[in-house]
Amino acid sequence: MISSRQIERTAAAWLASRDAGRWSERDQAELEAWLAASTAHRVAFVRLEEAWRQADRLKALGAGLPRGVVPPRGQWTGYQLGPRGMDMESPAVRSQAGPPTEIPAPGLTPIDAAKLIFAPRQRAAKPRRIGFAVAAVTLLLTGSLALGWRYYPTVQPVSYSTAMGDMESMSLADGSQAELSSDSRILVALSRRERQVELQQGEAYFHAAKDPGRPFVVSAGGHRVVAVGTRFSVRRDRGGLRVVVTEGLVRLESDPGPDGRRQPSTLLPAGSVALANDARILVRSGTLQEAEQYLSWRDGFLTFHDTSLAAAAAEFNRYNMRKIVIADGEVGAMRIGGNFRWSNTEVFVRLLEQGFPIRVERDGDVIVLHSR
């Protein structure tokens, strides 16, 4: 399967060739055939074309020119959209137009270090003795809470949560790491006998510290994900649970159903993606790269591969107060592909307007998509 990064680089190369000024009917026909071959091709090209237009043919290449003046065609050798361009890794494409043109930056005056005047440094006030006492007591209490799980059978659970559009990483008392996605909440209870984490809503990525005598257990929606020392994510939806394993091995268990029967435990190695509900567990075994695409939210992106627009809109709505509403089934059934920043709903919607037969209606915090 061709990766999204390869598709974006190919789209960038097409755009660079077209802008270089050596464009023929044959080139146009080959571009149209490439665009028609895949929805992901069309989305990547439209996204880059929009970035190209917004940047006045990449004004960074004309550094030092007056505002509004862009370099002539053919006088560049590459470009970079960054950081990570418009929702992608920064491509660098070499033109066939020849050597680069260096444009000096006029009007820059060297700084005379001898004339610099520095403000005097403010001397910190000496802390009072009571300050040391407060600090010592605070440190003692913090240490007691952090180490209490080692000596007591049970400890008071600790809750962590994030608001809509926020993410947070935290270190747990046993040395494990947890990263919460948007609008998520976990309840952590660590003791000398067990390590229990309840995923109450949303999604979390865990790096469980190695401790063979005390498995790391994440419970959610009638299922448990059991690990010893590994990296994995757990996502809770209305329809069930999704587990993505990126390192080590985890065991997926289920609570007994209404009939008292329990589904068999499932072992998930690195690269596995499991979907579980009350009726069944579906496991997809792929490459580590494919599994990590489900976790692109950690880098601020959403990755789609031939995904329905209804499902893509639902993903955006997980991270934004401004919601995308699908007005009819025809729009919801359209297929989409590519990488998009989950924090920029407006850019995603503009791309849909340009690349698909979609009419957009904006009303405050609601964006309604209609077919046209």
Helix axes 39-54, 345-355, angle to 10 degrees: 110
* CB neighbours of residue 201 within 10 Å: 13
Tell me the three state secondary structure of residue 80.
Answer: coil
Contact 186/211 with Cβ under 8 angstroms? no
The confidence band for 2, taking pLDDT boundaries of 50, 70 and 90, is low
Could you report the per-residue pLDDT of 158-199, keeping only the tens digit for each?
A: 999 999 999 999 999 899 999 999 999 999 999 888 899 999
* CB neighbours of residue 238 within 10 Å: 6
Tell me how many degrees the CA angle 122-126-131 measures, rounded to the nearest 5.
Answer: 130
The CA distance from 182 to 205, in Å, is 12
Structure tokens at 90: 């920064």
Strands annotated E in the chain: 158-161, 168-171, 177-180, 185-190, 195-207, 216-220, 223-227, 231-237, 240-247, 249-254, 266-269, 272-276, 281-285, 301-308, 323-326, 335-341, 358-363, 366-371
Tell me the three state secondary structure of residue 365.
Answer: coil
DSSP 152: S
Domains of the chain: 1-100 (no CATH), 148-288 (2.60.120.1440), 300-371 (3.55.50.30)
State which H helix or E strand residue 98 sits in: none
The confidence band for 141, taking pLDDT boundaries of 50, 70 and 90, is very low
Question: Residues near 259 by Cβ (< 8 Å), separated by ≥ 6?
Answer: none
Tell me how many degrees the CA angle 292-294-297 measures, rounded to the nearest 5.
Answer: 100
Torsion angle of the four alpha carbons 70, 73, 74, 75, in this order, in degrees rounded to the nearest 10: -20
The CA distance from 270 to 244, in Å, is 8
Contact 208/324 with Cβ under 8 angstroms? no
pLDDT for the residue numbered 106: 42
Could you report the per-residue pLDDT of 242-273, keeping only the tens digit for each?
A: 999 999 999 999 887 777 777 789 999 999 99
Could you report the per-residue pLDDT of 296-354, keeping only the tens digit for each?
A: 999 999 999 999 999 999 999 999 999 999 999 999 999 999 999 999 999 999 999 98
Contact 262/224 with Cβ under 8 angstroms? no
